[in-house]
Amino acid sequence: MAATFKQFSLSSKMIDALDKINFTTPTPVQEKLLPPVLSGRDVIGQSQTGSGKTHTFLIPILEKIDPTQEVVQAVITAPSRELATQLQDTFETLIAAYDPQIRIHNYVGGTDKKRQIEKLENQQPHIVIGTPGRILDLVNSAALQIQTAKIFVVDEADMTLDLGFLKDVDQIASKMPAQLQVLVFSATIPPKLQPFLRKYLHNPLFEQIKATTLIPSTIKNQLFFTKGKDKKQILQKLVTLGEPYLVLIFANTKEKVDEVYHFLKDQGLNVARIHGGIQARERKRIMKEIHELKYQYVVATDLAARGIDIEGVSEVVNYELPRDPEFFIHRVGRTGRNGLAGTALTLYGPDDEQEIDDLEKMGVVFAPIRLENDELVAAPKRNRREHRQKKAADLDPKLKGFVKKAKIKKKPGYKKKIKEAISQDQFQKRKIEKRRMKRAKKNRGK
């Protein structure tokens, strides 16, 4: 018999609220973690994007809030403005029919801090949501009184760490009571997060919800080889096949997003762009218009992969492979949600073979496709033998000549010399790759 939310002894108003948004069956992460969270235990929940982590802490918080108490009772940090706004919207959707109303305030950078302080002098919210920097600013200004909080949630903890916000989160936690329920939710739990967890969580329950597959079965995960041709032209051709409902296109930097956005706009497509370089007010306006379905295409950085939940994304396109393979899963997870079918399409060229190899080693399964008579058809699997030969062909020109001469002359010991030369070349390439990975890590989060 399928599990239902009624098995968790929730209040009747919560059951009614869940019914109104068609939430009847809990996800695996909700089924495992709702009981301990409702009981007040500290919890570390690790599961992939789209698994239902948000409602795993949202439901217990609402169950424990006393609206008659005019004090802060729960604090939630989110690593991006978009994610904080998404959390606020999710809360408000669920409690639309609650009476008396629970006050939820969202505090993020780029908004009017002075006005927020003035409002806090008159009334404190029941639930605080926001980015770590702005919440800490308001606390240090003695405007936001979080010392009364009973629950503290760190959402998307790995992204919080990646973006350098963990110190702010640490300071926020230090200003709350010792008797505090701390909930940490994340897609991954990096080692650098451990000191924070040991400092603030007491006998926590750690639960890792492993997905049966990295890519949900509702998603067609396709792979398209560009063969070094003009990627923008290929992109335009692929995303205009058929009548896609909403296409989310990912690039790694705001500069690349702008480049792709202007190209598609020049082709007459109804396209928007989202990245960290756009002012907060403008981003908010664009997001509102995206939700109102005023655009058919959206070009974005990974900010959107972790911070934006857009209903009805029919297709995700990786225009560029993400620098961090984990972000691939977060990108693809923007489609195929709530049982709906979706398509994820990854463009890759001759220089991206290693990145594709790495994703496949993680367990990502691709379906190669190609264009034939303006239709997408199945393509042969990537040829491993050809790939290995290509790697050898990518040797330094001097080494190519050495190998060629050695094959012709075949002097004694020539095989050993070739191996030594190739090993040295590969050693240099590994050094270059390590430097590239370091730079990518510094640039992550753009």
Please give the Cα distance from 230 to 234 (Å, whole number): 6
Q: What is the full per-residue pLDDT of the chain (446 aa) written as tens digits?
A: 567 898 999 999 999 888 877 677 888 888 999 999 999 999 999 876 656 788 899 999 999 999 999 999 999 999 988 889 888 888 888 887 676 689 999 999 888 999 999 999 999 999 999 999 999 999 999 999 999 999 999 999 998 998 899 999 999 999 999 899 999 998 888 899 999 999 999 999 999 877 656 787 889 999 999 998 899 999 999 999 988 899 999 999 999 999 999 999 999 999 999 987 888 889 889 988 988 889 999 999 876 655 556 767 899 999 999 876 767 877 888 888 767 889 999 999 999 998 898 888 777 899 999 999 888 999 988 754 444 444 444 445 544 454 444 444 445 555 555 556 556 656 666 666 667 676 766 666 55
The span from the CA of 359 to the CA of 356, in Å, is 5
Alpha-carbon Rg for the chain, nearest whole angstrom, is 25
Instruction: Give the count of beta carbons closer than 10 Å to the beta carbon of residue 210.
Output: 9
Distance CA 180, CA 42 (A): 9
The amino acid that residue 82 corresponds to is: E
Strand order in the sheet with 205-208: 104-107, 127-130, 74-77, 151-155, 181-186, 43-46, 205-208
The string of DSSP letters for 45-77 reads: EE--TTSSHHHHHHHHHHHH--TTS-S--EEEE
